[in-house]
Amino acid sequence: MTQRPQPVVEISEGIASVTVSLYERSGGAKLGLDQKRFCAVLEEIAAKYLPEGASTFDRQELYSSLKVEDLALAHACAEGSERAWEAFMLRFREKLYDIAGYIAKESSAARELADSLYADLYGTTTREGKRVCKLSSYTGRGSLEGWLRTVLSQEYVNRYRKQKRLVSLDEESEEGEQFAAPEKEETVAVDPRVEAATDDALTALPAEDRFALASYYLDGRTLAEIAKMVGVHESTISRKLDKLAKFLRKQILAGLGRRGMDRRQAQEALDVDVRDLKIAVRTRLAQETRVQTFPDKKAEASTGDGV
């Protein structure tokens, strides 16, 4: 994922013919993108995604997997072609607002989000005297619509995180919590053997399984959402998660056994979690305080009535 310095790659004859045919297929000429610029874009993409000294075959394979029509459109827009922008607006204007509406869940926020992205795409900001257009970073690996959706999501998440940190003092005072310090997460001492056994069991799992586990148990995604992300049926994810939970429990118990615990101890270490006890105590305490407040008020009221 790290960006390497772009190597100067000599274009062989085979690659040259491929790039020519790709340029013709992309319709870059109609959009005002010349062939030289298109070849340069392809070179940049190859330098970004292929290792140094990659074979001609690898390069051809990468080029053939690109969405060249979208690539030409995006880079023609980045070059400032009017025709390209007309085509872009025609295709994506309404779509961007729709996507923003889905992400922001509120119409004014969605419009603000989409407009800010338009500004970035058009290149209102400058860097070192040059207009920076976000579309020039599009590489054609996925569709332009998918890329726009991802960029919009990124923008939204960044904004949300920034705004989350800024809490209005008025709102806090209304809630009766002036200058409340953030609550510290209590660190719970867990047996290091349990942690080590759990890490071993998790490391042994394939990436897809860990992704499914994290999406379901940490992010709270639904089975349908995870299934769409991975590209399988919902029931497959359900079965997989069920199996994984059982498998992990079994593996951790085995790991604890290897670390010197007998079966009963390992079972207790896994099942009796101190955080459960803490939550129970906290809940109980909260109930008790709430119960205490009402008798006081009632007592005051009865006193007032008596007077």
Partner 1 sequence: MEQLPKIVAQRLQAVSRAETHPDANLLAAFTEKSLLPLEQTQILEHLAGCAECRELVAHAQPEQVLQQVAGAAAPLPVRRSWFSGAKLRWAALAACVVVVGAAVISRTRFTQNASMARFESAPAVVAETQPLPNRAPTEERKSNTDNESESNHVRLKMSVGTKSDGDEVSAAQELQAADSLSPLRAKQRQTERRSPELAEKNNNAPAVTNGIIMGRTASPPAVPPQSTVTAQPEDAKSTKKEFSADKAMKAPAATNEVAQAQPPPSPPAAAAKSAPVLADRQLQKGESGDLGAFNYNAKDGYLGVGASAGTLAGFRGANPRWQLSAEGKLIKSNDAGKSWQTVPVGDKVVFRALCVTGSELWVGGAQGNLFYSSDAGQQWQQVKPTSAGQTLTADIATIEFKDSKHGKVTTADHQTWTTNDGGHDWEIETR
Binding site for partner 1 (CB under 8 A): 1-2, 65, 98-99, 101-103, 137-143, 145-147, 149-151, 153-154, 156-157, 190, 194-195, 198-199, 201-203, 207-208, 210-211, 213-215, 217-219, 221, 225, 228-229, 231, 238, 241-242, 245-246, 248-249, 252, 270-271, 273, 275-276
- Please, is 142 exposed, middle or buried when counting C-beta atoms within 10 Å of its C-beta (0-12, 13-18, 19+)? middle
3-state secondary structure at position 126:
strand
- Least CB distance from residue 181 to partner 1, whole Å? 23
CB neighbours (10 Å) of residue 144? 20
- Least CB distance from residue 78 to partner 1, whole Å? 14
Beta strands in 75-190 (DSSP E): 126-127, 130-131
Q: How far is CA 285 from the centre of its chain?
A: 38
- Least CB distance from residue 183 to partner 1, whole Å? 18
Query: Residue 38 or residue 138: which is nearer to partner 1 going by CB?
Result: 138
DSSP category for residue 12: P
* Residue closest to 77 by CA, chosen among 19, 39, 28: 28
* Integer Cα distance of 253 and 180 in angstroms: 42
- Least CB distance from residue 234 to partner 1, whole Å? 10
Q: Which two tokens stand for residue 274?
A: 């101190």
- Least CB distance from residue 147 to partner 1, whole Å? 4
